[in-house]
Amino acid sequence: MPKPKDTPLFQEPEFDEKEYLTSEKERARAVILIFFIGAVSGLLAGYLQLQGYVVFSVLLMVAILVFLSKVVGFFGIRVSERTSHKVINSGVFILTWLVFWIVFLNPPLNTVSAPQLSAPQIQNSSHVWTNLTSASSNVYNGQTGTHSYRVDLTYRYPVNVTDVRYQSIGGGSSSHITYNFNNDYVYFNYTGSVANEIVFQIYWTSGNMAPSQPLTFDMVF
């Protein structure tokens, strides 16, 4: 039976202004809360990374992202079930987490970059320092006999050299070697023997940097 001509094909629902304003306020509250959750979790992720728990920090971020709606709901805020709103909430969390994670791992708060190692140098009989020739990456040709060596460290923030050790390649325990750290240079004396390869380790610490493995380089005699 055909519909009467005065019957509209589509009945527009009545606009509830009060419900609309309430839902928008809830959305705004949810976004603000998600921003703070992302900021705190981003800073926490940076701290965990400095402690060596990189995987755990990422898993924590993923877990919060998966249960983001429940976390927000825990604080008594109603979360919109619309897909577009969920995507926006997830985007706000990921972007905020990423920004604060980067901020925590960079100056002036922290830096995870270790000091860099320049080519070792040797002092000749005229007390002139010259660079050792490089056999390959981080491997240098030393000179037999007792010589004075120095290594230049480049870094952005102050570091302290706590120990210099050496060990024969292929076995044996590492041994401490007397050194002096001054004007960014590490000075030490070493007696090299023929047909021997030695690995040197420079241990360092800094209050502005993450814990790191010692700097290493080899010398072939």
Nearest alpha carbon to residue 26 among 89, 78, 70, 84:
78
Helix 17-50 crosses helix 54-66 at what angle (to 10 degrees)? 170
Phi first, then psi, for residue 60 (nearest 5°) are: -65, -40
Instruction: Tell me the per-residue pLDDT of 75-102, one tens digit each, with 9 for 90 and over.
Output: 888 877 788 888 999 999 999 999 999 9
Instruction: List, in order of start, the domains of the chain with CATH numbers.
Output: 17-104 (no CATH), 116-220 (2.60.40.10)
**50 confidence band (pLDDT: 50, 70, 90):** confident
For 92-142, the three-class secondary structure string (H helix, E strand, C coil) is HHHHHHHHHHHHHCCCCCCECCCCEECCCEEECCCCCEEECCEEECCEEEC
The residues, ordered by sequence, that sit 6+ positions from 52 with a Cβ below 8 Å of its Cβ are: 211
* Contact between 68 and 89 (Cβ < 8 Å): yes
The answer on pLDDT for 74 being more than 70 is yes
Please provide residue 11's backbone torsions phi and psi, each rounded to the nearest 5 degrees.
Answer: -100, 105
CA distance 16 to 204: 66
**Does the pLDDT value for residue 72 go beyond 70?**
yes
Q: What is the dihedral of CA 143, 144, 146, 150, to 10 degrees?
A: 20
Residue 43, pLDDT score:
94
Q: Which residue has the higher pLDDT, 42 or 155?
A: 42
Q: Lowest-confidence range among 17-26, 100-109, 199-208?
A: 17-26
Coil, strand or helix at 86? helix
How confident is the model over 136-154, as pLDDT tens digits?
888 999 889 999 999 999 8
- CA dist., res. 215 & res. 117, Å (int): 7
